[in-house]
Amino acid sequence: MDRKDKQKKGSGEEPCRKEQTVWEQKGISRRDFLKFCTAMSAALALPAAFAPKIARALDDVKRPALVWLEFQDCAGDTEALLRASSPSVSEIVLDVLSLDYHETLMAAAGRQAEENLWKTVREQRGKYIAVVEGSIPMKDGGVYCCVGGRSALDIAREVCGNAFATIAAGTCAAGGGIPEAKPNPTGAVGVKDAVPAATVINLPGCPLNPDNLTATVVHYLTFGKLPDTDSRGRPLFAYGKRIHDNCERRPHFDAGQYVEVWGNDAHRKGHCLYKMGCKGPETYHNCPIQRYNEKTNWPVGAGHGCIGCSEANFWDTMSPFYGRLPNVPGFGVELTADRIGAGLAIATAAAFAGHGVISALRKDKDSEGKKEE
């Protein structure tokens, strides 16, 4: 009920003038609200002076409608958003946005729910934000994922195509993710590949970090545009640096202290997980700084190597997750490139040693001639 009231206010026939009380109604003190704004300016890598600007924007802006579509997904990104230990400001920022459609969260069901979605698409054309979670199957006319009798591709074309912008939340929506891993039976792709005409910002991660989603929305509310992105459409504030370069275990990497067996002394002391197959050196994400679950921890902090979940095709290209190098095709599993290479070098040395022995035993004309001289 509460949410419904909020939506009416958010979709805003009347100008939003009493936002401060809205925050207070939600149990967020002014102080906490300003702390949140400062944290957001830090997440966006903006100077602290921007915090008041963000606060003003969140107070004043007429919040746009937001629809959240789920396709081939596990709802893990929704879970990441909801599993905060206490109702967080970021949850409420998304809440106060007029969340018109979200399959996991909405109270409406059936035709009524679908009508909410299409009403927003019709009435807020070019103004609403679409969040997509999950990949879109393209094979066989998209029959592998249908919602309300329409294929995911069909829905995405209409909803994302008419949105102000689409946020691809999580790795599946950003690039196909796990459904797209070989052999990709459904022909799964990310939103940008399914709907090339849409304005898409990719927030990969398995799950995405809700802080990055909130920061992207806050950036839009504050500046009226989406943040700058890299060549893969990922915002630079969150995906501009390698995990390896901001990792708390980096000093152990540079020193030369590695975990070599799970659970050994080095592992307990928090040494570098490089040798255990950590993909931090090739993964761009702000996990070491933002962390997950209200900044409680993140995989490497908990003693597990990074698996590169925010990179394209990570399931295929980052595996084996517990080895430094991929397996060599045609050779057995566990036979690393270096063992094959060393074997090749030994075989070469043996071959030439054999050749040398034969050559030494053989008398050639010149050496016979030399004896005569």
Q: Indicate whether 337 belongs to the interface with another protein (CB under 8 A).
A: yes
Q: Indicate whether 82 belongs to the interface with another protein (CB under 8 A).
A: no
Q: Indicate whether 371 belongs to the interface with another protein (CB under 8 A).
A: no
CB of 17 to another protein, least distance (A): 43
Please count the other Cβ atoms lying within 10 Å of the Cβ belonging to residue 100: 23
CB contact at 8 A, 311 and 204: yes
CA dist 55 and 51 (Å) reads: 6
Q: What is the DSSP letter of 208?
A: P
Count, residues in the chain: 373
CB of 365 to another protein, least distance (A): 6
Residues 6+ apart with CB under 8 A from 165: 129, 130, 199, 200, 201, 220, 226
CB of 359 to another protein, least distance (A): 6
Inter-axis angle of helices 30-43 and 89-96, nearest 10: 90
Cite the beta strand spans of the chain per DSSP E: 65-70, 98-102, 129-133, 136-137, 146-147, 150-151, 165-169, 188-189, 200-203
Q: Indicate whether 348 belongs to the interface with another protein (CB under 8 A).
A: yes
Q: Which of 284, 292, 298, 315 contacts another protein by CB under 8 A? A: 284
Decide whether 148 or 251 has the Cβ nearer to another protein.
Answer: 251
Q: Indicate whether 267 belongs to the interface with another protein (CB under 8 A).
A: no
Q: Which of 26, 275, 291, 304 contacts another protein by CB under 8 A? A: 275
Q: Indicate whether 331 belongs to the interface with another protein (CB under 8 A).
A: no
Q: Indicate whether 369 belongs to the interface with another protein (CB under 8 A).
A: yes
Question: Helix, strand, or coil here: 112?
Answer: helix
CB contact at 8 A, 149 and 143: no
Among the listed ranges 15-23, 158-166, 210-218, 360-368, the one in contact with another protein (CB under 8 A) is 360-368
Q: Indicate whether 2 belongs to the interface with another protein (CB under 8 A).
A: no
CA dist 52 and 309 (Å) reads: 34
Residue linked to tokens 């939103």:
191
Among the listed ranges 1-9, 47-55, 64-72, 278-286, the one in contact with another protein (CB under 8 A) is 278-286
Site for another protein in 310-329 (CB under 8 A): 311, 313, 316-318, 324-326, 328
Q: Indicate whether 248 belongs to the interface with another protein (CB under 8 A).
A: no
Q: Indicate whether 335 belongs to the interface with another protein (CB under 8 A).
A: no
CB of 239 to another protein, least distance (A): 9
**Both structure tokens of 216:** 């992207």
Q: Indicate whether 60 belongs to the interface with another protein (CB under 8 A).
A: no
Site for another protein in 173-232 (CB under 8 A): 230-231
Q: Which of 184, 229, 246, 257 contacts another protein by CB under 8 A? A: 257
The alpha carbon torsion through 283, 93, 54, 201 (nearest 10 deg) reads 40
Q: Indicate whether 281 belongs to the interface with another protein (CB under 8 A).
A: yes
| Residue among 296, 250, 291 at smallest CA distance from 273 | 250
Q: Indicate whether 271 belongs to the interface with another protein (CB under 8 A).
A: yes
Q: Where are the alpha helices (DSSP H) in 66-205?
A: 76-82, 89-96, 110-123, 152-161, 171-175, 191-194
CA dist 36 and 52 (Å) reads: 11
Site for another protein in 106-135 (CB under 8 A): none
Which parts of this chain interact with another protein (CB under 8 A)?
A: 230-231, 240-242, 245, 251-258, 260, 266, 271-272, 274-275, 281-282, 284, 311, 313, 316-318, 324-326, 328, 337-338, 340-342, 344-345, 348-349, 352, 355-356, 358-359, 362, 364-366, 369-370, 373
